[in-house]
Structure 1
Amino acid sequence: MDVLMRGADPLVLFTTLARHDRAWRKFGGGSLLDRHSPLALRQREIVIARTTARCGCEYEWGVHIAGFASHVGLTDAQVYATVHGSSDDPAWSTEEQVLIATVDTLIDHKVLNDLEWHNLRHHFSEEQVLEVIQIVAFYHGVALICGALDLPLETNAARFPAA
């Protein structure tokens, strides 16, 4: 847990799951929190923020926004757009719009059509595409865990912006 928290207090999510070794191991085993992602950190955080926002998981969205948004150069408009924007929001580059559209489609429909695959493959390698899909799947699961456990929001985490 120390590696994940880099000296900060452990998250409620982590301490809750860590009470049961099997739950903690399974969570860590499915996690994509490593330094070897084929995506840039900014791309990864956009996918995580959009996924958790679309799943209504203020807990995880807030943790990631507080921990990474400024580090990866997300503007206030982009942070807002992760919650309230659309995939064609002018806050995003074309490549980032494709990431947002992919998250939205996977959350809403669980499949990508031929055009969506084409757009993804135009901007990202096969390895990166698989990473995007896995991140959406993992953080959709994290949102379900946080919701099911009704975790209290972290004190230092961001809150969803008002519409």
Structure 2
Amino acid sequence: MSRIAPLTKPYPEAFAAAMTALMRGAEPLVLFTTLARHERAWSKFSAGSLLDRNSPLSLRQREIVIDRTTAKCGCEYEWGVHVAGFAARAGLDDAQIAATVRSDARDMVWSADEQALVGTVDALLDRKKLTDAEWARLRDHFDEAQSLEIIQLVAFYHGVALICGALDLPLETNAARFPPATEEGQLP
């Protein structure tokens, strides 16, 4: 059980309406119902979302950044939600899904632009900055708006991972689980 009890039905009207639109008939995530216990926490969290249709990134690019960020942060909760909800639509195969958890940017499952995504996530989470060379590599593949979106995704989902870990959220029953470790696997 989460350290803060999630909302239970009947949900407040505004939250129920938001969940109807967002979840498309599925039950709200524990993360959402837990944050919604406090209107300010929920409104600030939901206002920071980058999952709208106006993203300068493709669904695949966005999900690689989110999956890598949450995996590198050890957040099986959010990684599993995104893999279950978006990996197939994003065209991520089993090897690529596993690589978000168990590999690095040099893995040959990634194209050159995807290697730049994974490398950017790793640099930001490891050192909290990009070197000039890392920035140049990112910009070789992504324009300014896309680059900012990538950085914001890493920051937002790093925060999501901290929230999930601090609240000790139980894993969603229909979410994916981290792949088993291999001899060379180093994450999470």
TM-score range, shorter chain: over 0.9
* Corresponding residue SS for 1:141: helix
* Corresponding residue SS for 1:71: helix
Q: Are residues 1:37 and 2:55 paired?
A: yes
Choose the corresponding residue for 1:15, options 33, 45, 57: 33
Measured in 1, the distance between the counterparts of 2:178 and 2:142 equals 29
Give structure 1 regions of 4+ aligned residues with deviation exceeding 2 angstroms: none
Structure 1 residue 18: Cα displacement: 0.8
Choose the corresponding residue for 2:79, options 54, 61, 71: 61
Q: Are residues 1:120 and 2:138 paired?
A: yes
Q: Structure 2 counterpart of 1:55, which letter?
A: C
- Larger displacement relative to structure 2 (128-137 or 2-11): 2-11
Q: Are residues 1:75 and 2:93 paired?
A: yes
Measured in 2, the distance between the counterparts of 1:101 and 1:23 equals 31
TM-score, with length taken from structure 2: 0.86
Structure 1 residue 79: Cα displacement: 0.4
Deviation track 1:25-63 (CA, whole Å, cap 9, x = no partner) reads: 010111112110000010000000000000000000000
**Residue of structure 2 in register with 1:92 after alignment:** 110
Q: Are residues 1:24 and 2:42 paired?
A: yes
Identity %: 72
TM-score, with length taken from structure 1: 0.99
Measured in 2, the distance between the counterparts of 1:33 and 1:71 equals 14
**Residue of structure 2 in register with 1:2 after alignment:** 20
Measured in 2, the distance between the counterparts of 1:3 and 1:37 equals 18
**Residue of structure 2 in register with 1:155 after alignment:** 173
Q: Structure 2 counterpart of 1:112, which letter?
A: L
Mark the runs of 5 or more structure 2 residues left unpaired by the alignment. Answer: 1-18, 182-188
* Corresponding residue SS for 1:128: helix
Mark the runs of 5 or more structure 1 residues left unpaired by the alignment. Answer: none
- Larger displacement relative to structure 2 (25-34 or 43-52): 25-34
* Corresponding residue SS for 1:70: helix
Aligned residues: 163
**Residue of structure 2 in register with 1:146 after alignment:** 164
- Please, what is the CA RMSD of the aligned residues? 0.6
